Structure 1
C-alpha cells in the first residue's frame, strides 16, 4: 500500500497544530501531497431585534446582514488559518486547501474523498466525561466512518504531567 495523498484536519487549537506538524513531516518522508481542511460548523444566529415576532420576518427596511457578516468572517478566518499552516509547515510540499461547512466529521470525510486521500490525520482534544458526551468526538466519528486509515495524533497537556 502506498500513501501518496494525506488530508490533515486543522483548527485553531494547539492539538491541531501538533497534528499538522506531524502530518507534514510524514508527508515529506512518504513524498506525499497534502491537503489541509478547516471545517466551519453551523452557528445559530440570534434573532434580530428588528424582527416581527408574529411571523419571524424582518420588518420592512431592515436587513439582516449579521448572518452574512458572520459567514464572511468565518471564511476569512479559515483562509488565514490554512495559509498560516501552509506557510509554517508546507515548504516544498504540494498543498491543497479546503474550507467546508457542516458537521466536522462528515465534512472531513467528504474532503478526503474529494482529494482522493490515502490517509487522514487529525489531532485530539483529549475530551472525556461530560465534555466528550456533550461535544462528541470528531476524531472518533472520522475513525468510525472513513474509508481510509485515520491517524489520530495526541498531544499531552502540560497539566497532565
Structure 2
C-alpha cells in the first residue's frame, strides 16, 4: 500500500486489487446476521469470488436457555441432559434452514452452505483452510462482559489465530449524538 500526500485535502491510498476467489461468511443467529451476509456477499460478488456461508453448532450449553426467574434473576443453567439427541438434530435442521433462507435472501443458488460442529473459531478456521478461502467475513458483536466470559470472543480468537485475512463487519448500532 502506498500513501499519496499532497494531491488533495484527504489522504489517498493505493492498494493492490484483492485477488479473491472464495470467501467464507460465518453467521450466527444474531439479528445482525442479515447485514453481515449482505455486506460480505456484496464484497465477494464485486471480486467475482465464490461464497461459502457457515453456521457453527458449538457445545450444547450454547443452545440451552438460561434458567431465569423474574423475581430472583439468573439462577444457573438447567441440566445439560435436558437437551436430548432428537432435539439437537432439530437444532441442526433449524441451522440448515437458516442458511438456506439466507442463501435465498441473497438470491444466489450457487452459494455453498454448511453447518459446522465444534468451537466457533476453530471450526471456522479449519473449514477456511480446507476450502482454501481467501477471506473470512464475520460480524463484530458488542457483547456484555458476562457473555464474553461464557463464550469468549470469536473475533478476538480469529484475529489472533488466523493466517487468512479477515473482513470484519461492525454490527453495533451507533447512537447519534
Fold match (TM-score > 0.5): yes
Q: Which residue matches 1:144? A: 160
Report whether the alignment pairs 1:27 with 2:44.
yes
Q: Which residue matches 1:82? A: 99
| Alpha-carbon distance in structure 2 between the residues aligned to 1:138 and 1:86 | 23
TM-score, normalised by the number of residues in structure 2: 0.72
TM-superposed deviation, 1:47: 4.0
Report whether the alignment pairs 1:114 with 2:148.
no
TM-superposed deviation, 1:102: 0.9
In structure 2, the CA distance between the partners of 1:121 and 1:40, relative to structure 1 (3 Å rule), is same
In structure 2, the CA distance between the partners of 1:130 and 1:79, relative to structure 1 (3 Å rule), is closer
Q: State the 4+ residue runs in structure 1 displaced beyond 4 angstroms.
A: none
TM-score, normalised by the number of residues in structure 1: 0.79
Q: Which residue matches 1:102? A: 118
| Alpha-carbon distance in structure 1 between the residues aligned to 2:107 and 2:158 | 24
In structure 2, the CA distance between the partners of 1:104 and 1:131, relative to structure 1 (3 Å rule), is same
Q: Contact conserved, 2:37 with 2:102, CA < 8 A, in 1?
A: yes
Alignment length (residue pairs): 142
Deviation string, structure 1 residues 76-131 (Cα, Å, up to 9, x no partner): 0111111011011142x731111111110100111111221000000121125443
List alignment gaps of at least 5 residues for structure 1.
49-65
- Report SS of the residue matched to 1:144: helix
Q: Write 1 or 2 for the structure with the bigger share of helix.
A: 1
Q: Contact conserved, 1:15 with 1:154, CA < 8 A, in 2?
A: no
Q: Which residue matches 1:53? A: none
- Report SS of the residue matched to 1:2: coil
Q: Contact conserved, 2:27 with 2:53, CA < 8 A, in 1?
A: yes
| Alpha-carbon distance in structure 2 between the residues aligned to 1:72 and 1:131 | 25
| Alpha-carbon distance in structure 1 between the residues aligned to 2:146 and 2:85 | 33
Report whether the alignment pairs 1:15 with 2:32.
yes
| Alpha-carbon distance in structure 1 between the residues aligned to 2:172 and 2:105 | 21
